[in-house]
Each structure stands twice: as C-alpha cells, then as structure tokens.
Structure 1
Amino acid sequence: MPLTTGTGQHGPRPRSHDREILRLAVPAFGALVAEPLFLLTDSVIVGHLPDPALGALGVASAALSALVGLCVFLAYATTAAVARQLGAGDVRRAMRQGLDGLWLAAAIGLAIVVSCWPLAPLIVHLFGASGQLATLAITYLRVSLLGVPAMLLVLAGTGVLRGLQDTRTPLAVSVGSFVLNALLNLWFVLGLGWGIAGSAWGTVAAQTLSAATYLVLVVRAARRQGASLLPDLPGVRAAGAAGFALVVRTACLQIVLVVAASLATRMGDAQIEAHTIAARIWTFLAFALDAIAIAGQAITGRALGAGDDVAARSATARMVLWGVVCGVLFGVAVLLARPVIPEMFGARGTVAAGLLAVLWPVALLQPIAGVVFVLDGVLIGAGDLRYLAKAGVWTTLAYLPFAALAGSLVGLWLALGAWMVARLITLATRAYGRAWLVTGA
C-alpha cells in the first residue's frame, strides 16, 4: 500500500495519473452504481404494481434519500481523513479516525429512526402527496427507516476502505448487496404479494448484511494496527464537527432535489412518475461520474498528506479531462437509449411523453456534471469543506428562482441545469486558485 506519491519536482506523468485514476475509479464505479441500481431495480419491480405505487416509491425514496444524503459526509469526510493520515505514514491513526466515523454513523442512524418514524406522515405530506399515494409512501418510508443505521454504517465503512486506497472491496460488497436486494424484492413484491412494503423490506435486509460485512472488515484491520475499538468520544465529536460543513453542503444539494420532487408531485401523478424515472437515470449517471470524484478524494487526500501539492494539482487536471470525456459518452448513451427507456419502466401515455421530453436536458447536462462531480471530489479530498458549504448555499439560492418559475416538467429540469452551471462556476474558480492546496497530516 503506497504511502507517498512517488513524484518528482514536476509531478507524475499523465499516464501515471491515468493508471492511478483507473485503479481507484473503475471499482468505485461498480460500487457507486450499485446504490442507484437498487432504486432502478425497485422502480422496475414496483412499476408492475397498480398505480400510484411507482409515484409513492418516488416520494418516499426522495424523502429517504434526503435524510440519508445529509449523512454522506460519513463516507466523504472519512475517505479524506483516512487518506491524509495514510499519506502522512500514520496508518494506526488512520484506522482510529475510521472507527470514529463508524461510531458516529451508528449514533446518527439510531437518532434518525427514533425521530423520523412518528413524523413519516408529515414528511410525506410535505412532498404534496395525498390519498392512496400518501398511504403507500408512508408504508415504504417507515419500513425503510429501519435500515437507516445500516445504510450509514455502510457509508462510513466504505469511506474507511476508500481512504486506504481500496475500492475493490466496496465493489464486491456492493455487487453482492445488489444481487440480494433484487432477488428479495422479486420474491417479496411479486412472489409473496407484499406490495410496496416488500420492496422496502428487501432493501433493508440487503443493507443490513452489507453493514455487517464492513464492520467485520474494519474491525479486523484496526486490530492489526493496534487501534482501540472502543468509542473515543473526543474523536467522535471531532468527526462530527469536521463533517458539519459537509452537512451544510449536502443539505443544499438535498434542498434542490427535494424542491424538484415536490414541484413535480404538485404537477400531477403523471409528472411525478416521469420525474421519478428521469431522476433515477440522473442518479445512476451521477454515481457513475462520481467514481472519478471518489478517486479524486483518495488521491488528493493522500498527496496532500504526503506534502505533494504538485501531484495534487496535476492529478486534478487529469481527472477533469476524464470527467468531460465520460460526461460526453454518457450523454450520447442517454440519447441513443431514449426511444426505449419508457418501455423499460412500463411508462405509457402522458408519463412516457413527459419522460421523453426531460431526457433531453438529462443527456445534455452530462458533460457539465462530469466536471462538477470531479472538482467536488477533489475539494472534499483536500478538506476544503468550508468553501464547499458556502458555495452550496449560493448555488442553491441561484436555483430556487428558476425552479419557482418552472411551469412544466421540462422547465423544472432546465432549472436543475441552471443549478449545475452555477456549481461549475463556483468549483472551477476555487480549483484554479491555490487556497485549497493545504499540505500535511
């Protein structure tokens, strides 16, 4: 396991960066797309249930994603912290920080279950759902809440392994969890006839098994390094404080997505169903592009921990190029698949028409998304979290007027496009400077 970048005065060559990016990003791609594949699989299976089951899934999963998404710092901040300590040569301290992240994840997960279970009806109604749509959404949300602690432990455990420059193990765990989730959902929903609740129970079971796997792996690694497994309260508090800026940044992202889902719900059942499918496709592509950002977190944290700011900047330039190329390829893929996508999800009539319309902005925004996600990952890896929080606030404020003026589903997705352009400007401006290049442990 390399502890330094091995670069000279002028940094590594582009081909060296490419090998490192591929080594980390390719397995990370498989692990990252497993999560949206969970949702895509759920959408396909639930799509065979009578209406408005798919719309209820969209509302409930948007609420659940908002809750869990706020805690994504458990993966991102842990990756950066562990990678920086690894680059500085202190593996024992790296494992200690990883364990702090796991304890924090368990505490937050339990708190979410206790606080959100009785609030499930209110949460669903905040999305504008009513009648049978709301009833089904509440059922899905309440069952899914039971799996939140496991989801957060998976985030933290994944962050530990990524920080250790290991993205292959998370890939193996994710693939196994995805297969189990698909099989259980088919059995519970279509075989046993549990309906939308069966979809939620299948995901909870798969996530719980994944969390147990990460706990075993991290505990074994910590023991090998002589790190204590007991909770270190100052360390847990420090992990929480370090993640606060990422919570603000992530909250801003979630506000954008929640507002979009809420507005689509108010446009009608057909619109929320079309938006749900488009959002699933967008999320799938976003996680795929984020694989390069995960490599950026690990490479940047390790390079800066080793004191090599030249390598960090050189790797950033190369990863941005990768982001652009992959974004173009994904955009073309969406346009080529556009005619058959409605049929894949069982969309008919107005739902299919709305979906076909919004797939255009989904495709055209992919190159911009490629750059945005890469630079976001680089700055997280550098620990430039305060800037990301401030930028998140400003870009969200820029988005809200466009969303308010959107009178159609296409208009809503164009508002999301304006938000992505605002993120591109703020992140590119920061990356061009040197304020984020802070070296040392």
Structure 2
Amino acid sequence: MKDLRREILNIAIPSIVSNITVPLLGLVDVAIVGHLGAASYIGAIAIGGMIFNMVYWLLGFLRMGTSGMTAQAYGAGRFGEAEQTLRRSMTVAMGMALVLIVLQKPLLGAMLWFYDAQPQVDVLVEQYFNILIWGAPAALGVNSLNGWFIGMQNARYPMTVAIVQNVTNIIASLFFVFALGWKVEGVAAGTLVAQWTGLVLAVILVQRMPQINGRRAFRPIADIPMRFFSVNRDIFLRTLCLVAVTVSFTKAGASMGEVILAVNAVLMEFYLLVSYVMDGFANAAEAISGAVMGAGDRGRFRLLLRQVFTYSGLLAVVFTLVYALFGGVFVGLLTDDAEVTAVAATYLPYAVAVPVVGFAAFILDGIFVGTTSSGYMLFSAAIAAAFYFAVYFLFSPSFQNHALWMAFLVYIGARGVVQLVLLPSVRRKIAK
C-alpha cells in the first residue's frame, strides 16, 4: 500500500506541476488581452484558442493511445515494443501536422463561419491563427512524447518540458505584446516560440531514457498494427464528442454577444484549472493501471482505484471551497472590464460546482486510457454529450446562458456516472 502511494505521488505531483502550467498559461493570455481595453480581445483569444484546442483534442490519441500501450509494454518488460510505440506515434504526429499546415486556409475559413462572431473578433482570430498554425508539428510532437514519457512511468520529463515551455511562452508573450505592441499577434508569437522550444527539449530528454535506443526512436516507421489504429480510432471519436460539447459551449456564448462570450471564457478558466490539477492523478492512474494490466495484477488495480479516488475527492472539496470563497477575486485578476466582471458574478456558482461534479470523470479517464478501454471511453462520452445537448436545447429558450452552464455540469457529471457503471468490466480485463 505504502509503495503504491509513493508511485502515485511520484507521477501525480510532477504531472500536476506540468498540467497546471497549461491553464495558468491560458490565464496569462486572457489576463494580457483582458487589459488591452476591449472585450473583443478576450473573445478572440477564446475562439482562436478553441480552434487549436479542438484540433489538438481531436488528435489527442497521439498522447492517450501512446501512453496506454506504452504503459502496458512497460509493465510486461517489453521495452522494444515501447520504443516501437513511440516511433509509430511520432510518425503519425508529423503526418497530421503536415495535413494541418497544408489545409490551414480552409480550416480557418470553416472555423470563422462556424463561430459566427462579431467582425472585429474575426479579424483578431485570423491574426492569431495565421501565426500559431506553424506550431502544429511541435505541439503534436510534444503530445506524443509526453504520452510516451507517462507510459514509461516518468512524469518528471513532461514536467520539465512544460515548465520550460510555459515560462518561455509567458516571457515571450509579455515582450511581444507590451514591448513591441503586437497585441493578439504577440500572444500567438509567444506561444509559437514556446511550442518549438518544448519539442527540442523533449527530443533531448528521450536520448536520456535508459530503456531504449534514443537515436533510433525518431526514425519514421511504416509498420503500424491494427490495434494501434483501433484504440486510437475510439479515442478520436470519444474526443470528437468532447470537442462537440466544448465548441457548442463557445459558439452558444458567442451568439449571446461579446460580453457573454468573454464571461464564459473567464469562467471556463475555473474548469480548466481544476481539470488539469485532477489530471495529475489521472496521469498517475493512467501510467500505473497500464503497467498493472501488463503485469496482470488485479489486486494492485483495486488498491490503485481506492487511492486515486481518495486523493481526487479531497482535491475536489478543496477546490470547491477556494472557488466559493475567492472566485470573485479570481475573476478580477483576469479582467478589469467592469461589465464582464459584473455579469460573471451571476454565473460564478456554476464554476464553483465544477470540482465536485466532475472529479470522477477526470480520474476514470486515466484508468480507461491506461487499460486501453477505448470503446468504453467512447460510449461514456457519447452518452454524456447527448445529455448536454438535450438539457441545453430544452432549457435555453427560457434560461439562455444559465441553461448552457447547467448543461455543462450535467455533461461532466454524466461522464463520471457512466464510467463508474462500466468500471467492473474494465477490472475483468486484468488477470488475477
């Protein structure tokens, strides 16, 4: 029991440090443009960021599929298979990045049409996108490498990459925006510089992994087995359900005007912050459950479930209390727009409820990734998305943005409930 706790914390704590830099980076971006004098800047960052989040989420199998298969190979002591998994993931990542760069103009056009924001917001989104699209190879490559590191039970390297990447991003963005006066272009340029810095560092760190031949790990590979595609297909479709909800959330907010769009962007940072902290323990569950499955140890799997749920439950309570007591202060740090701040207070209780409602889904995502239970992940996400759209379309005529936030809470809660129902089937996949 004690050893398992140590294993969980050895992965969870560095993962929390690295994960929390992601929403903190988003907070810095929102805070920078939030002090430029117009809500349209916040809206542009929200939509521009959502475009890339949507694309990279859809390709999230590059991290999750890589992590689960690598962890199982690690648990079984098959390090050659782990190296092959990295080569396959990086080959696919670079291919996907090339497709995104080639199709950048139609992709941007489709996204601007879909979001249908105000004209001044569209201009700013285009400026942001045209710079940041050139970071696609770096962003997707780092996703693959981070998944592989976690699968190899090493959370320190992703933490190192994340810290360096995000410190670089913050410094570069502040310089470009406030020293050079680039505004939205400066935020995008800062992120671009940081993405390539992160990839270079991650490649260097792979060379230090003792279990594999680092020089060979980045050679393209054509031998990609059907299991790689089937697991990643399910994760892709599952992520499509999640992206559909998130895109719908942003689009619905944009249709209510730039103030509501800005309010929802600010309050969504509450969700992102707690999700990335919870994902630290989800990453631990992911890595250890995969290794446990590779070793065929069902008893250790039960202990893992008990421990990660204890830790995540306590975190959920802490976040709820902090948000309830200091949520208004947090909003004030993100924007000094008086109208946005005033309207945000109306919807703040929904953000306060997020940690308790959603923590089970965060943790069980990690368990399902580690055991490559991708079909179950797809099913739970599809059911939850259906609940989201049903609640929103039923109540939006009368409650508008309140209905949007109610639907979102139902969505994250339903994911956890369905996954809990499916958990015994996942447990049976592990040998006694």
Per the shorter chain, which TM-score range? over 0.9
Q: Give 1:61's match in structure 2, choosing from 31, 49, 58.
A: 49
CA distance 1:58–1:181, shift in 2 (3 Å):
same
How far off is 1:227 after superposition? 5.2
Cα distance per residue 1:134-166 (max 9 Å; x no partner): 111111122111112211111101011111111
**Which residue of structure 1 aligns with residue 425 of structure 2?**
434
Cα distance per residue 1:155-188 (max 9 Å; x no partner): 1010111111110111111111111101100111
Residues 1:381 and 2:370 are matched in the alignment:
yes
> What is the aligned-residue RMSD (CA, Å)?
1.8
Q: Give 1:202's match in structure 2, choosing from 190, 199, 202.
A: 190
CA distance, structure 2, for counterparts of residue 48 and residue 240 of structure 1: 45
The AA in structure 1 aligned to 2:412 is M
CA distance 1:34–1:320, shift in 2 (3 Å):
same
CA distance 1:225–1:115, shift in 2 (3 Å):
closer
**Mean Cα deviation higher: 269-278 or 343-352:** 343-352
**Which residue of structure 1 aligns with residue 333 of structure 2?**
344
Cα distance per residue 1:302-351 (max 9 Å; x no partner): 00100112211220122112111111111111112122123212243331
Q: Is the Cα–Cα contact under 8 Å of residues 127 and 262 in structure 1 kept in the other structure?
A: yes
Q: Is the Cα–Cα contact under 8 Å of residues 231 and 372 in structure 2 kept in the other structure?
A: no
How far off is 1:369 after superposition? 1.6
The AA in structure 2 aligned to 1:378 is I
Cα distance per residue 1:271-326 (max 9 Å; x no partner): 00010111122112111111110001000000010011221122012211211111
Q: What are the within-5 Å matches in structure 2 for residues 138-177 of structure 1?
A: 138-177=126-165
Give the unaligned 5+ runs of structure 2: none
**Which residue of structure 1 aligns with residue 270 of structure 2?**
281
The AA in structure 2 aligned to 1:438 is K
How far off is 1:228 after superposition? 5.8
SS at match of 2:153: coil
**Which residue of structure 2 aligns with residue 183 of structure 1?**
171
CA distance, structure 2, for counterparts of residue 186 and residue 236 of structure 1: 45
CA distance, structure 1, for counterparts of residue 11 and residue 219 of structure 2: 30
Q: Is the Cα–Cα contact under 8 Å of residues 34 and 337 in structure 2 kept in the other structure?
A: no
**Which residue of structure 1 aligns with residue 411 of structure 2?**
419
**Which residue of structure 2 aligns with residue 323 of structure 1?**
312
The AA in structure 1 aligned to 2:46 is G
CA distance, structure 2, for counterparts of residue 439 and residue 252 of structure 1: 27
The AA in structure 2 aligned to 1:326 is L
**Mean Cα deviation higher: 199-208 or 116-125:** 116-125
**Mean Cα deviation higher: 213-222 or 379-388:** 213-222
Residues 1:267 and 2:256 are matched in the alignment:
yes
**Mean Cα deviation higher: 107-116 or 250-259:** 107-116
**Which residue of structure 1 aligns with residue 401 of structure 2?**
409
The AA in structure 2 aligned to 1:427 is Q
The AA in structure 2 aligned to 1:367 is V
Q: Is the Cα–Cα contact under 8 Å of residues 103 and 236 in structure 1 kept in the other structure?
A: no
Residues 1:23 and 2:6 are matched in the alignment:
no
Q: Give 1:313's match in structure 2, choosing from 291, 302, 307.
A: 302
Q: Is the Cα–Cα contact under 8 Å of residues 79 and 212 in structure 2 kept in the other structure?
A: no
How far off is 1:200 after superposition? 0.4
How far off is 1:41 after superposition? 1.0
CA distance, structure 2, for counterparts of residue 18 and residue 138 of structure 1: 47
Q: Is the Cα–Cα contact under 8 Å of residues 157 and 202 in structure 2 kept in the other structure?
A: no
The AA in structure 2 aligned to 1:416 is F
Q: Give 1:45's match in structure 2, choosing from 22, 32, 47.
A: 32
Cα distance per residue 1:218-268 (max 9 Å; x no partner): 255475378564222122775344311001111111111100000000111
Structure 1 length-normalised TM: 0.92
CA distance, structure 2, for counterparts of residue 411 and residue 91 of structure 1: 49
Q: Tell me how many residue pairs correspond in the alignment.
A: 426
CA distance, structure 2, for counterparts of residue 28 and residue 350 of structure 1: 36
CA distance, structure 2, for counterparts of residue 102 and residue 17 of structure 1: 31
Cα distance per residue 1:166-216 (max 9 Å; x no partner): 101111111111111011001111110111011001001101110111122
CA distance, structure 2, for counterparts of residue 394 and residue 115 of structure 1: 32
**Which residue of structure 1 aligns with residue 98 of structure 2?**
110
Residues 1:242 and 2:231 are matched in the alignment:
yes
Structure 2 length-normalised TM: 0.94
Residues 1:32 and 2:19 are matched in the alignment:
yes
CA distance, structure 1, for counterparts of residue 215 and residue 327 of structure 2: 53
Give the unaligned 5+ runs of structure 1: 1-12
CA distance, structure 1, for counterparts of residue 194 and residue 225 of structure 2: 27
CA distance, structure 1, for counterparts of residue 170 and residue 66 of structure 2: 29
How far off is 1:436 after superposition? 4.5
**Which residue of structure 1 aligns with residue 66 of structure 2?**
78
CA distance, structure 2, for counterparts of residue 284 and residue 229 of structure 1: 33
CA distance, structure 1, for counterparts of residue 349 and residue 426 of structure 2: 37
CA distance, structure 1, for counterparts of residue 127 and residue 226 of structure 2: 34
The AA in structure 1 aligned to 2:13 is V
CA distance, structure 1, for counterparts of residue 320 and residue 343 of structure 2: 18
